[in-house]
């Protein structure tokens, strides 16, 4: 501890160099924390998905629908407690650029099965009572300035819903009570879309509430068996698996973002290691004098390594600070792609751990070199 003053003194020796090093670590940690936040954002829905909800799709792919008559069959499967369904609407709000998810849902059962959709009781009632009502997430409401009482017109995106625009009344703005439902979506009555469909009575996917999460696989298999060899075969999976499919659509994000993060760390190691080596070289004579005065080589090692660690951690704190400040849904509009987004405490901790790691790795070679200096040679040398 008593050497802290000495470490600070040597860091201040070349203020510009210390500043540049601290800033380059800060940038690396900023990038690292942001990349982690993006990746976590993508995976959040999968992580938070319920283990008691299972999703039934057409086995061909999610672009195919099945008749509402499936509902009774699924409901009668043992282990199934509750059932709801939804369709993807794919409408366009003014411009295709304004993409957001719209779901036609069976309203009562859906709200019952998704407590994550948090809606004030009067808004809930208003939504259920109005056939052309919709509810929007608070994030979406903020993005487009939707307010309760507004009318939203959506152009039809999927030809099955005809060519006429759909008008909706905003009856409520919901908050997301869990990452399984994001706050960037719009929900409305399935009946409203269905009555204008060219092919009525079709459902995109069914969601079943099961009593025992351990039985998810058995119940899923039992459901699929009931429709085997029918014209509308199904594939039932846990909600987690269903969500994971969407994440994997983007491609191998883990690999891509992981490699970039690795490159970031290596770059910073080069920069920080270089600086430390430079500052040690500059101080060769000084270190030799300290050794002559009797400082053991272990102390010299700690002094040099400590300086690297300190600069690195200061950079790390700056970096996560920046990331916290900039990478959040209020400053960056990425809602349509990454529903849950922001630098979490976990990201902060891993960013700081990374900065410490960079400090140790970058400091270790110069510190070893400094502690192994031959006093005689070093004293003789003119820097």
Partner 1 sequence: MGLIGSYNLRSMIVRKGTAAMTAGGIAMVVAVFVMTLAIAQGFRATLVASGSPANAIVLRKGSTAESTSGLLRTDVPLIEDLPQLARGADNRPLASPELVVAIALPRQTDNQPANVPVRGVGPKAFEVRDTMKFVEGRQFAQGSREINVGLLAVGRFKGLTLGSDVKFGNATWKVVGIFTADDAAFESEVWGDVDLMMPAFQRGGYQSMTVKLADPSMFESFRDTVDADPRLYLKPQREQDYYTQQSQAMTTIIRAFGAFVTLILSIGAMFGAMNTMYAAVAYRTREIGTLRALGFSRFRVVTAFLAESVALALVGGVIGCILAIPVHGLSTGTTNFTSFSEVAFKFRITPALMAGGLLFSAVMGAVGGLLPAIRAARIPVARALREI
> Which residues of the chain form contacts with partner 1 (CB under 8 A)?
16-17, 20-21, 23-24, 27-28, 30-31, 35, 59-64, 90, 96, 157-159, 231, 233, 235, 244-245, 248-252, 256, 259-260, 263-264, 266-268, 270-271, 273-275, 277-278, 282, 382
> Least distance from C-beta 193 to partner 1, angstroms?
16
Query: Which residue lies nearer to partner 1 by CB, 128 or 278?
Result: 278
> Least distance from C-beta 251 to partner 1, angstroms?
4
DSSP-based three-state secondary structure for 92: strand
Query: Which residue lies nearer to partner 1 by CB, 172 or 319?
Result: 319
Tokens, residue 343: 């630098």
> Least distance from C-beta 4 to partner 1, angstroms?
24
Query: Which residue lies nearer to partner 1 by CB, 18 or 171?
Result: 18
Query: Which residue lies nearer to partner 1 by CB, 260 or 376?
Result: 260
Beta bridge partners of 151: 169
Strands (E), the chain: 53-58, 66-67, 80-88, 101-105, 117-118, 133-137, 151-154, 166-176, 185-189, 202-203, 205-210, 234-238
CB proximity list for 298: less than 8 A, separation 6 or greater? 371
CB proximity list for 217: less than 8 A, separation 6 or greater? none
> Least distance from C-beta 61 to partner 1, angstroms?
4
Q: How far apart are the first and last CA of the chain?
A: 30
Query: Which residue lies nearer to partner 1 by CB, 332 or 356?
Result: 332
> Least distance from C-beta 376 to partner 1, angstroms?
20
> Least distance from C-beta 249 to partner 1, angstroms?
4
CB atoms under 10 Å from CB of 38, counted, come to: 20
What are the helix and strand counts (H, E) for the chain? 14, 12
Query: Which residue lies nearer to partner 1 by CB, 123 or 365?
Result: 365
Query: Which residue lies nearer to partner 1 by CB, 58 or 291?
Result: 58
CB proximity list for 175: less than 8 A, separation 6 or greater? 118, 119, 137, 138, 183
> Least distance from C-beta 122 to partner 1, angstroms?
37
Alpha-carbon gap, residue 56 to 279, rounded angstroms: 63
DSSP-based three-state secondary structure for 174: strand
Query: Which residue lies nearer to partner 1 by CB, 185 or 275?
Result: 275
Within its chain, how far is the Cα of 132 from the centroid?
33
> Least distance from C-beta 9 to partner 1, angstroms?
19
Reported residue count of the chain is 383
Alpha-carbon gap, residue 148 to 136, rounded angstroms: 9
């Amino acid at each position: 501890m008593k050497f802290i003053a000495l470490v600070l003194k040597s860091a201040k020796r070349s203020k510009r160099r210390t500043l540049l090093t601290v800033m380059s670590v800060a940038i690396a940690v900023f990038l690292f924390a942001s990349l982690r936040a993006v990746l976590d954002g993508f995976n959040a829905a999968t992580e938070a998905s319920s283990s008691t909800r299972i999703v039934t799709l057409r086995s061909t792919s999610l672009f195919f629908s099945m008749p509402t008559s499936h509902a009774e069959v699924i409901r009668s499967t043992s282990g199934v407690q509750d059932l709801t369904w939804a369709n993807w609407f794919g409408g366009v709000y003014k411009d295709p650029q304004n993409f957001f998810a719209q779901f036609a849902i069976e309203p009562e059962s859906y709200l019952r099965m998704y407590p994550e959709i948090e809606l004030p009781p009067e808004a809930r009632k208003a939504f259920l009572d109005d056939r052309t009502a919709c509810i929007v997430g608070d994030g979406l409401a903020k993005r487009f300035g939707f307010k309760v009482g507004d009318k939203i017109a959506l152009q039809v995106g999927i030809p099955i819903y005809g060519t006429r625009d759909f008008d909706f009344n905003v009856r409520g703005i919901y908050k997301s009570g869990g990452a399984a439902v994001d706050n960037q979506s719009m929900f409305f009555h399935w009946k409203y879309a269905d009555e204008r469909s060219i092919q009525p009575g079709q459902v995109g996917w069914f969601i079943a509430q099961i009593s025992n999460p351990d039985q998810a696989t058995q119940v899923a298999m039992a459901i699929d068996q009931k429709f085997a060899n029918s014209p509308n075969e199904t594939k039932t999976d846990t909600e987690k698996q269903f969500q994971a499919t969407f994440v994997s659509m983007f491609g191998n994000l883990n690999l891509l973002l992981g490699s970039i993060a690795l490159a970031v760390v290596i770059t910073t190691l080069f920069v920080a290691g270089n600086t430390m080596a430079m500052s040690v070289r500059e101080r060769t004579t000084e270190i030799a004098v300290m050794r002559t005065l009797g400082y053991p080589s272990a102390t010299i090692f700690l002094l040099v390594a400590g300086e690297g660690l300190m600069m690195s951690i200061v950079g790390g704190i700056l970096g996560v600070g920046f990331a916290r400040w900039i990478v959040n849904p209020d400053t960056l509009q990425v809602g349509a792609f990454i529903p849950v987004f922001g630098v979490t405490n976990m990201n902060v901790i891993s960013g700081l751990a990374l900065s410490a790691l960079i400090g140790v790795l970058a400091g270790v070679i110069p510190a070893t070199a400094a502690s192994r200096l031959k006093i005689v040679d070093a004293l003789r040398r003119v820097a």
